[in-house]
Amino acid sequence: MTKETLLMQYQSECLSAFKSVANIHKPFEKAFMDTMKLFMAIPDRINFLQLGRYGCFSEQTYRNLFEHETFDWFAFNGSIISKHLTGKRKAI
């Protein structure tokens, strides 16, 4: 599997998990999807400065979206792992 194929698969899984989590604004969704792509591409330390340097948005945009957005991370992670893990006990 190529890196592009993995990236596309990962992005599609994130998008489907986003649909299961309510109250997601489009700007946050776009920035989050770009962040997921950058997490796979940036080899070193990842912070808002690095995201601004290599991403589609400015450092301040990433910072504002992740500081002010109320997002249910637990539900998002739960949606992703429920597709891949079977059994009663799951860890996030």
- What local confidence, expressed as pLDDT, does residue 40 receive? 81
pLDDT in tens, 25-81: 788 888 888 888 888 888 888 999 999 999 999 999 999 888 877 777 888 888 777
- What local confidence, expressed as pLDDT, does residue 60 receive? 94
- What local confidence, expressed as pLDDT, does residue 90 receive? 66
Is residue 51 classed exposed, middle or buried when 0-12, 13-18 and 19+ CB atoms within 10 A define those classes?
A: buried
Q: How far is CA 18 from CA 14, 15, 52, 57, 84, in A?
A: 6, 5, 23, 20, 16
CA angle 75, 7, 11 (to 5 degrees): 35
- What local confidence, expressed as pLDDT, does residue 66 receive? 82
pLDDT band at 1 (very low <50, low <70, confident <90, very high): low
